A and B are shown apart, each in its own frame.
Chain A
Amino acid sequence: MDLNTLWFVLIAVLFTGFFVLEGFDYGVGILLPFVAKTDAERRRVVNTIGPVWDGNEVWLLTAGGAIFAAFPHWYATLFSGFYLALFLILAALIVRGVAFEFRSKDKSPTWRATWDWMIFVGSLLPALLFGIALANLLKGTPIDASKNFVGGFFDLLSPYTLIAGLASLSLFVTHGAIFLNLKSAEPIRSRSTAAIKKIGPAATVLLLLFVVGTYVWTDVYARLGLNPGLVPLLALGTLLTAGYLIHRESMGWAFVMTTLAIVFSVATLFMALFPRVMVSSLDPSWSLTIYNASSTPYTLKIMSIVAGIFVPIVLVYQAWTYWVFRHRITAESKLEY
């Protein structure tokens, strides 16, 4: 495997980590208005992700930095091209991050309700937009011969990309509801179970539509043939298994399954993309690939060494954080947010 491929895989891994981790805390943010009725309940919901959401978000910052360092043209085309969509994501992440820290620092019900709205919108928008953005990488966007995006915001919206956005949104909400179920006590617990049973089936249908849509709207059939291999089937299979486990009230394993469903979904997308990173809808030869968009072998080598040393260290201390905060948040828990 050459270094370009290694960095493509590493960026896929960073996005996967981001979607698995921040996926559930987006889900919790979106569920906040629906599973909590009183302020005390809302505080408990926010506190389930309190110690970890910021660390989860760094997966995105690292993925962004890694794209810049390893594939500068990808970084330049993607962020200047998906300009207004990225602005919406940034605005959402800004208000959401501040909202977690600020919401409980004043007693006024208006103050708290305002920030709770920010948490909701700030979680909903990225959960939807990240699906849309990733699907656009694969579906293809107007990119010219000099690697510049020449479309506008509305070029990003199509039935296929909207299905992808709704699929990521519903998958994150399901994932978040299971997380909440594992981390909370009654009455939030049974409300999150009810949410899972509403959103879970929708997520399964949308993910199926997304897989079918990928055959209809992208060049994946021409590239891979009718049999897409094991990975997309595993994405659907794990989600269906999650449904079965939820029915059996085995939430811990269901969470493992939604985690795997996200892993396999992102893997499917990146496999279909490889070795391209952004498809051009104007001319396939203008697509950005891991070779024409990349940094030099020297930079990739340096970055590989840095990642090889520090990624394992990060994984260890983040895992430890989850271990420290493994207990349920109950009415008796001491709350910080």
Chain B
Amino acid sequence: MDALTLARWQFGITTVYHFFFVPLTLGLVWVVAGLQTAYYFTGDEIWKRLTKFWGKLFLINFAMGVVTGIVQEFQFGMNWSEYSRFVGDVFGAPLAIEALLAFFLESTFLGLWIFGWDKLPKKAHLAAIWLVAIGSNISAYWILVANSFMQQPMGYAIRNGRAEMESFWALISNPHVFVQFPHVITAAMATGAFFMLGISAWHLARAKDEETREAFRRSFRIGAAYGLVATVAVSVVGHTQAQYMTRVQPMKMAAAEALWETADPAPMSLFTWGHEPERRDLFAVKVPGLLSFLAHNRFSGEVKGIKNLQAEYEAAFGPGDYVPPVMWTYWNFRVMVGAGMLMLLLAAWALWGSLRASFERSRWLLALLVPAITLPYIANSAGWIFTEIGRAPWIVFGVMTIDKGVSPGVGAGEVLTTLVGFTLLYAALMAADLYLLLKFAKAGIHPPALDAADAPELGVAGAVRA
């Protein structure tokens, strides 16, 4: 494989991996802040135990998000130096601002929150977790400003052989970020909600002592309400975003629907297996007119197809292949939407159930919610793979193609070294992370003390004697 292909794999792997952790951070932090606020106002010990329980899981996850985020910031320079030179004048600013406004805020106040339980006044300690929540969500805004520039470049002009910033305001008020940011934030909230629901369901199906049951009953109800609000919101926002993308990146949406030819009214594909080189269906099941409805809110109206857009782009940008990998785009879009639909149904069922006293005996509901923790992870990953692959061949839509962005001086061997290095390291850390998450999730609201392992020499000697 050449350096370009390896660099793309590296970006894909490290970014998807990073985004395993980010949504839970963004979504769960509001819950932790909310639980601690409940404790602050009621003094109820269960709220405090819940704050510590979900807070511990939050911290284990947060650490992984932070360290994998460092790679993200430097990777543009390492593997994509020509891209960095070309767009740095525009693209560097949101990254720098993200660090200055958000990373300092979340890391400093998280330190205060972790270590400040006995050292800060209660009010200041509560403020610390809220500032962490605000900081981490601000960081999402700034990184999405950067990503939105790649999806729909705004506020720049091509001068001196590069993209130069013309309007900072146009960059940060890019309409794209106002559909993308709510989608990411609500998806993150859904991730937090399903994480909460699944773990609470697990305990409700097993726990005997009433304090634990009461704690997870509350968590379950909060998770269910939070989950339903978040999944409804993510669907509505996602639909708006899809309509918006049909206008600004019609090729991505045509690929997402495997719509080869422009159609009016356009059918929606339920299942397509396509022949990509010939750009035709091998097998497809379609609902007539539905795609027009989704795009235009009525059962007629033109939706542009892949072949027609290819011809348009060739006329505009010169000869070349402007079609993204269609089956990747199509199936990832369907996986995202499908997982989202399942989440919507499950969240509705969970909330409806939790309003009745008997839900704790509903074996089916409790059993299904545990594996359902993975649904948002599947949807989040598929969503990003869809939106990034669907932008191909562009690294900045309409401005620069991916192959032009790669570092010219970095050889395939070097990229392969770091690709293998990061992948192995990430796999090992994932194992440790899952081990700890499972351990503390199962331990419940009475976690084991951890200072007991003092003096390992004694422990080893004791084990040998025993």
Chain B residues with CB below 8 A from A87, complex form? 78, 417-418, 421-422
Of A109, A148, A324, which one neighbours B460 at CB under 8 angstroms?
A: A109
The answer for the CA separation of A17 and B120 in the assembled complex, in Å, is 26
User: B60 an interface residue at 8 Å Cβ cutoff?
Assistant: yes
The answer for the CA separation of A90 and B89 in the assembled complex, in Å, is 25
Distance of B9 from chain A, by nearest CB (Å) = 15
Of B62, B165, B410, which one neighbours A302 at CB under 8 angstroms?
A: B165
User: B265 an interface residue at 8 Å Cβ cutoff?
Assistant: no
A78-101 contacts to B, CB under 8 A, are 78-81, 83-84, 86-87, 90-91, 93-95, 97-98, 100-101
User: B450 an interface residue at 8 Å Cβ cutoff?
Assistant: yes
List the one stretch of A64-72, A180-188, A202-210 in contact with chain B.
A64-72
User: A105 an interface residue at 8 Å Cβ cutoff?
Assistant: yes
- Are B115 and A325 interface neighbours, CB within 8 A? yes
- Are A97 and B111 interface neighbours, CB within 8 A? no
User: A54 an interface residue at 8 Å Cβ cutoff?
Assistant: yes
- Are A95 and B425 interface neighbours, CB within 8 A? yes
Residue of B nearest to A153 (CB): B414
Beyond A68-B92, A72-B89, A148-B408, whether A38 also contacts B455 by CB under 8 A is: yes
List the one stretch of A165-173, A247-255, A291-299 in contact with chain B.
A291-299
- Are A77 and B81 interface neighbours, CB within 8 A? yes
Of A58, A73, A91, A97, which one neighbours B85 at CB under 8 angstroms?
A: A73
Residue of A nearest to B98 (CB): A65
- Are A324 and B165 interface neighbours, CB within 8 A? no
- Are A65 and B96 interface neighbours, CB within 8 A? yes
User: A282 an interface residue at 8 Å Cβ cutoff?
Assistant: no
Beyond A77-B81, A94-B429, A336-B114, whether A62 also contacts B99 by CB under 8 A is: yes
Residue of A nearest to B68 (CB): A94
Chain B residues with CB below 8 A from A295, complex form? 88-89, 92, 165
User: B107 an interface residue at 8 Å Cβ cutoff?
Assistant: yes
The answer for the CA separation of A213 and B79 in the assembled complex, in Å, is 33
Distance of B61 from chain A, by nearest CB (Å) = 10
Residue of A nearest to B74 (CB): A79
Of A40, A90, A296, which one neighbours B451 at CB under 8 angstroms?
A: A40
- Are A79 and B112 interface neighbours, CB within 8 A? no
- Are B450 and A66 interface neighbours, CB within 8 A? no
Of B59, B119, B440, B448, which one neighbours A324 at CB under 8 angstroms?
A: B119
The answer for the CA separation of A101 and B118 in the assembled complex, in Å, is 19
- Are A69 and B93 interface neighbours, CB within 8 A? yes
What is the 8 Å Cβ interface bit string for chain B, positions 60-103, against chain A (1 contact, 0 not)? 10111011101101101111011011011111110111111101
- Are B92 and A72 interface neighbours, CB within 8 A? yes
Q: Quick one: which of B82, B89, B104 has the most chain A CB within 10 A? A: B104
Chain B residues with CB below 8 A from A306, complex form? 96-97, 100-101
User: A219 an interface residue at 8 Å Cβ cutoff?
Assistant: no
Of B68, B77, B96, B109, which one neighbours A80 at CB under 8 angstroms?
A: B77
What is the 8 Å Cβ interface bit string for chain A, positions 302-337, against chain B (1 contact, 0 not)? 110011001100100110010011000000001110
User: A52 an interface residue at 8 Å Cβ cutoff?
Assistant: yes
- Are A105 and B429 interface neighbours, CB within 8 A? no
User: A192 an interface residue at 8 Å Cβ cutoff?
Assistant: no
Chain A residues with CB below 8 A from B408, complex form? 148
What is the 8 Å Cβ interface bit string for chain A, positions 94-118, against chain B (1 contact, 0 not)? 1101101110111111001100000
User: B454 an interface residue at 8 Å Cβ cutoff?
Assistant: yes
**By the criterion of a CB under 8 Å from any partner CB, how many residues of chain B are at the interface?**
82
Chain B residues with CB below 8 A from A94, complex form? 67-68, 70-71, 425, 429
Of A84, A102, A147, which one neighbours B60 at CB under 8 angstroms?
A: A102
Chain B residues with CB below 8 A from A86, complex form? 74, 78
Of B63, B77, B97, B422, which one neighbours A79 at CB under 8 angstroms?
A: B77
What is the 8 Å Cβ interface bit string for chain A, positions 123-141, against chain B (1 contact, 0 not)? 0000000000000000000
Chain B residues with CB below 8 A from A68, complex form? 76-77, 84, 88, 91-92, 95-96
The answer for the CA separation of A235 and B98 in the assembled complex, in Å, is 33
User: A61 an interface residue at 8 Å Cβ cutoff?
Assistant: yes
The answer for the CA separation of A41 and B58 in the assembled complex, in Å, is 27
The answer for the CA separation of A55 and B280 in the assembled complex, in Å, is 54
Distance of B427 from chain A, by nearest CB (Å) = 13
Chain A residues with CB below 8 A from B99, complex form? 58, 61-62, 64-65
Chain B residues with CB below 8 A from A334, complex form? 117-118
The answer for the CA separation of A53 and B104 in the assembled complex, in Å, is 11
Chain B residues with CB below 8 A from A215, complex form? none
Of A102, A303, A325, which one neighbours B119 at CB under 8 angstroms?
A: A325
- Are A50 and B70 interface neighbours, CB within 8 A? no
Chain A residues with CB below 8 A from B439, complex form? 105-106
Of A53, A80, A91, A318, which one neighbours B81 at CB under 8 angstroms?
A: A80
- Are A318 and B104 interface neighbours, CB within 8 A? yes
User: A76 an interface residue at 8 Å Cβ cutoff?
Assistant: yes
- Are B107 and A58 interface neighbours, CB within 8 A? yes
- Are A55 and B81 interface neighbours, CB within 8 A? no
The answer for the CA separation of A311 and B165 in the assembled complex, in Å, is 23
Distance of A157 from chain B, by nearest CB (Å) = 16
User: A286 an interface residue at 8 Å Cβ cutoff?
Assistant: no
Distance of A52 from chain B, by nearest CB (Å) = 6
- Interchain residue pairs with CB less than 8 A apart (27): A47-B115, A50-B115, A54-B108, A65-B95, A65-B99, A69-B95, A69-B97, A72-B84, A76-B88, A79-B81, A80-B410, A87-B78, A95-B429, A98-B432, A107-B450, A109-B456, A109-B459, A109-B460, A295-B88, A295-B165, A296-B89, A298-B166, A299-B90, A302-B168, A306-B101, A310-B100, A325-B115
Given A299-B90, A299-B165: 13 more A-B contacts, CB < 8 Å: A39-B453, A57-B70, A58-B107, A62-B104, A70-B96, A79-B81, A87-B417, A94-B67, A101-B63, A105-B436, A107-B453, A317-B108, A321-B108
Binding site for A on B (CB under 8 A): 59-60, 62-64, 66-68, 70-71, 73-74, 76-79, 81-82, 84-85, 87-93, 95-101, 103-105, 107-112, 114-120, 164-166, 168, 407-410, 414, 417-418, 421-422, 425, 429, 432-433, 435-436, 439-440, 448, 450-457, 459-460
Binding site for B on A (CB under 8 A): 38-40, 43, 47, 50-55, 57-58, 61-62, 64-70, 72-73, 75-81, 83-84, 86-87, 90-91, 93-95, 97-98, 100-102, 104-109, 112-113, 147-150, 295-296, 298-299, 302-303, 306-307, 310-311, 314, 317-318, 321, 324-325, 334-336
